[in-house]
């Protein structure tokens, strides 16, 4: 009887952890979609262009992660509600921006982008560790998940990707946050703690880097 109770509790904990991961992925998708549609609005793209950029930003990193980990179906196919959420966000944002006549600045894009970076880095590391990948591979999966959507956004908007041209730490923040997750995982910390710590460290480092204007050394020719 006690064994059955323990198994039920373990199953309940795992289910709760999976729910938390899905919530983090939903928030990350929304944050990156918002950064994508703001960039598209700043470039004065039409409605189709805004939706395309938002979708690429929201789903690009996770799709590459699923390809590299050979996970099927893709996360946005398995959870179609993410597609509906991004579509609704695009429509509402375009209506709001058009009615309010707001001027979108590059600075406004950086805050949802920083949040999306932290959220997607955490889910990328988590899924890679669940697939029993080596720790370094898991950290790189988190970095890829967090960074690649923004790379696609900037390329489609005819910009050198922020991750490459912005001397303020970006991918470095995801790399550091990924190691925080991996370290807590190796210490057998609760899954929710590792997820939250990774998001806080990654997004926090990026926000502080923007606020304090930290810069990485530039390449000197």
Residue 143 lies in a domain: yes
Residue 63 lies in a domain: yes
Give pLDDT, residue 100.
Answer: 60
Residue 220 lies in a domain: no
Residue 174 lies in a domain: yes
What is the length of the chain?
A: 221
For 150, the domain range is: 13-212
Give pLDDT, residue 2.
Answer: 37
| Percent of the chain's residues with pLDDT above 90 | 28
**Position with higher pLDDT, 42 vs 135:** 135
Give pLDDT, residue 56.
Answer: 92
Contact 163, 61 (CB under 8 A): no
Residue 90 lies in a domain: yes
Give pLDDT, residue 95.
Answer: 81
Report the domain count for the chain.
1
Contact 54, 42 (CB under 8 A): no
Q: Is the pLDDT of residue 201 over 90?
A: yes
State the average pLDDT for the chain: 82
**Mean per-residue pLDDT for 20-27?**
77
Contact 136, 152 (CB under 8 A): no
Give pLDDT, residue 103.
Answer: 56
Number of neighbouring beta carbons within 10 Å of residue 35:
28
Contact 135, 161 (CB under 8 A): no
**Position with higher pLDDT, 98 vs 57:** 57
Is residue 81 packed enough to be buried (19+ CB in 10 Å), middle (13-18) or exposed (0-12)? Answer: exposed
Residue 2 lies in a domain: no
Give pLDDT, residue 99.
Answer: 65
Q: Is the pLDDT of residue 8 over 50?
A: no
Q: Give the Cα separation of 2 and 117 in Å (integer).
A: 42
**Position with higher pLDDT, 18 vs 188:** 188
Residue 6 lies in a domain: no
| Percent of the chain's residues with pLDDT above 70 | 84
Give pLDDT, residue 121.
Answer: 93
Residue 74 lies in a domain: yes
């Amino acid at each position: 009887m006690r064994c059955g109770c323990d198994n039920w509790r373990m199953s309940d904990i795992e289910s709760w952890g999976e729910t938390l991961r899905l919530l983090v992925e939903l928030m990350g998708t929304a944050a990156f979609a918002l950064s994508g549609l703001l960039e598209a609005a700043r470039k004065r793209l039409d409605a189709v262009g805004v939706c395309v950029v938002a979708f690429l930003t929201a789903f690009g990193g996770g799709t590459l992660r699923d390809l590299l980990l050979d996970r099927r179906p893709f996360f946005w196919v398995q959870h179609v509600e993410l597609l509906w959420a991004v579509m609704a966000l695009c429509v509402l944002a375009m209506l709001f921006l058009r009615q309010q006549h707001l001027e979108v600045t590059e600075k406004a894009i950086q805050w949802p982008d920083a949040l999306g970076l932290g959220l997607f880095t955490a889910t990328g590391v988590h899924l890679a560790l669940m697939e029993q990948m080596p720790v370094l591979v898991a950290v790189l999966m988190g970095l890829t998940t967090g960074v690649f959507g923004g790379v696609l956004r900037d390329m489609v908007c005819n910009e050198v990707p922020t991750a490459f041209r912005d001397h303020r730490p970006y991918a470095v923040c995801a790399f550091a946050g990924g190691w925080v997750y991996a370290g807590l995982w190796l210490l057998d910390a609760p899954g929710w703690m590792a997820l939250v710590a990774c998001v806080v460290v990654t997004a926090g480092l990026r926000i502080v880097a923007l606020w304090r204007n930290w810069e990485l050394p530039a390449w000197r020719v």
